């Protein structure tokens, strides 16, 4: 199943949507999958997707 999570840049004064196209890095930890997104403003936002239970 494909779930689309809409996330937004965390930088102050910026709330651009972060799309899969701006995802630079995906890695897994015990806490789940983490994705690093680079926004057009240059800020990097890291999201955590908890594993399905």
Q: What residues make contact with Zn ion under the rule CB under 5 A? A: 9, 11, 14, 16, 39, 41, 43
Neighbours of 5 (CB within 10 A): 9
Q: Which is nearer to Zn ion, 6 or 50 (CB)?
A: 6
Minimum distance, C-beta of residue 17 to Zn ion, in the bound complex (Å): 10
Q: Which is nearer to Zn ion, 11 or 23 (CB)?
A: 11
Q: Which is nearer to Zn ion, 14 or 49 (CB)?
A: 14
Picking from 20, 46, 11, the residue whose alpha carbon sits closest to that of residue 32 is 46
Picking from 26, 5, 9, 28, the residue whose alpha carbon sits closest to that of residue 17 is 9
């Amino acid at each position: 199943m494909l779930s689309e999570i809409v996330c937004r840049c965390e930088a102050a004064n910026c709330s651009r949507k972060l799309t899969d196209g701006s995802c630079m890095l995906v890695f897994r930890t015990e806490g789940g999958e983490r994705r690093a997104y680079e926004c057009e403003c240059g800020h990097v936002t890291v999201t955590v997707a908890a594993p399905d239970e």
